[in-house]
């Protein structure tokens, strides 16, 4: 009897004990790795907020590598798979800001593939459906940057439909309401670019109604306050396009009040600093259109000061570099309005150099190509006023060739951009 118990103990119980210990050890290691990956994500988020794209990319890559190794061994673990999809999205976000649309699309697509698989398993799980919606939104952003409005609209519409469905099931979920606001704004941007101002205003108004509700619920919630600021800027853009300058200025001023408050709360938050610079620029363009040059100069100078600091902080951040080029354009407009052609040429030339560099990075980025065409066009106007007509025509021709290539390669041009192309052909005596 004693011998039988000993055999049982040695042959069965001890192996089971060590097996349990090994399983516990593996679980402990996995939890440590998961915590480490989450820690890297947090570091990446902080770096991204401060505008340090290199540090953000390194942190997100470290988290991705951990999750990738763990997923190799367990494709059926939904949470591990979901974490991996989030890593792909984080890497895509950094790639967008670095101006690498191909890398962004690859990362977003890989994340989307995982999200689709997970969402199909349990359509009733709100969190997984939201992941799928965000995946559509991110791919829509890439398509929009490439000038593929048709694909962008498909992605954004899919995102909207998913978000509407899960928001209806969870009316108390404020994150889903904010998601709805973002998608309404995205779709508004597309139809506005297509020249459908009525539908655009309807989309922006829907977004504003949501943000007003959210901001009223919690005036201390910075995300909701920022969303309210963005909504007012969008409607300000509509009024500006419709030549209703008083309405545009009122909307921009409201947005800027919020942007100032947020930027003062956290001077290291580069997103909020950029928001403030954008508000200054929008107010400046409106006051310039109203021929209030002193007010416009003050606003443009404030925008340039903020943007220059951001651009110097990280020269690889393409978003900030593009913002800087726009600021130089605005400063050039002030100089041109005052007949200071030398200063206008200097500012316009500075803008052109930046957009040349951006456009050379990625010829598939339609916005950068359009920016380059505009930079050549603006410089041509100033140079011609200065008396150098032949040099001006060279820049007009460069602008024309860029726009024509965009048409020939199927990139979207707005109705105003197409009119601009016709104008250039007439100036140059083409066709």
Amino acid 251: pLDDT:
97
Amino acid 9: pLDDT:
43
Rounded Cα gap, residues 79 and 306, in angstroms: 41
More confident: 194 or 245: 245
Tell me which CATH code domain 314-431 carries: 1.25.40.10
Amino acid 23: pLDDT:
44
Cα–Cα separations (whole angstroms), residue 332 to 118, 144, 263, 307: 52, 28, 26, 16
Q: How do the domains of the chain map onto residue ranges?
A: 314-431
pLDDT single digits (tens) 274-309: 999 999 999 999 999 999 999 999 999 999 999 999
Q: 3-state DSSP: the chain helix, strand, coil percent, rounded to 5?
A: 85, 0, 15
CB atoms near residue 289 (< 10 Å):
15
Write down the pTM of the prediction.
0.84
Tokens of 154: 């498909």
Rounded Cα gap, residues 79 and 37, in angstroms: 13
Mean pLDDT, residues 116-128 taken together: 91
Rounded Cα gap, residues 132 and 114, in angstroms: 9
- Are 134 and 161 in contact by the 8 Å Cβ rule? The answer is no
pLDDT single digits (tens) 174-193: 999 999 999 999 999 999 98
């Amino acid at each position: 009897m004693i011998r039988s118990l000993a055999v049982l103990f040695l042959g069965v119980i001890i192996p089971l004990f060590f097996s349990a210990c090994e399983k516990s050890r593996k679980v402990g290691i996995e939890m440590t790795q998961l915590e480490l990956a989450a820690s890297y994500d947090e570091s990446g988020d902080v770096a991204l907020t401060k505008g340090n794209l290199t540090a953000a990319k390194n942190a997100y890559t470290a988290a991705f590598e951990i999750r990738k190794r763990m997923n190799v061994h367990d494709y059926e673990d939904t949470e591990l798979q979901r974490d991996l999809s989030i890593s792909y999205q984080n890497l895509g976000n950094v790639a967008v800001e670095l101006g690498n649309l191909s890398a962004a699309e690859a990362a977003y697509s890989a994340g989307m593939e995982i999200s689709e698989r997970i969402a199909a398993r349990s359509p009733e799980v709100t969190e997984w459906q939201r992941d799928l919606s965000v995946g559509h939104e991110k791919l829509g952003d890439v398509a929009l940057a490439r000038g593929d409005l048709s694909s962008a609209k498909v992605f954004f519409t899919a995102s909207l439909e998913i978000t509407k469905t899960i928001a209806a099931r969870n009316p108390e979920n404020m994150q889903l309401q904010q998601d709805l606001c973002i998608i309404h704004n995205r779709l508004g941007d597309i139809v506005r670019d297509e020249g459908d101002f009525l539908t655009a205003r309807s989309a922006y108004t829907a977004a504003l109604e949501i943000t007003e509700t959210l901001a009223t619920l919690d005036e201390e919630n910075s995300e909701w306050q920022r969303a309210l600021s963005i909504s007012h800027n969008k409607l300000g853009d509509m009024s500006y396009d419709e030549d209703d300058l008083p309405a545009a200025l009122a909307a921009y001023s409201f947005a800027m009040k919020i942007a100032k408050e947020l930027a003062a709360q956290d001077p290291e938050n580069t997103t909020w600093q950029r928001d403030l610079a954008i508000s200054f620029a929008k107010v400046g363009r409106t006051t310039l259109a109203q021929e209030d040059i002193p007010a416009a100069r003050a606003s443009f100078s404030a925008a340039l000061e903020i943007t220059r600091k951001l651009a110097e902080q990280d020269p690889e951040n393409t978003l900030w570099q593009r913002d800087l080029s726009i600021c130089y354009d605005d400063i050039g407009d002030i100089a041109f309005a005052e007949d200071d052609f030398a200063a206008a040429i200097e500012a316009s030339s500075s803008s052109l150099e930046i957009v040349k560099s951006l456009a050379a990075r990625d010829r598939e980025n339609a916005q950068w190509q359009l920016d380059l065409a505009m930079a050549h066009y603006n410089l041509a106007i100033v140079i011609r006023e200065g008396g150098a007509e032949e040099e001006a025509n060279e820049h007009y021709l460069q602008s024309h060739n860029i726009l024509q290539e965009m048409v020939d390669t199927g990139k979207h041009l707005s109705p105003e951009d197409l009119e601009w192309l016709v104008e250039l052909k007439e100036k140059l005596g083409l066709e």
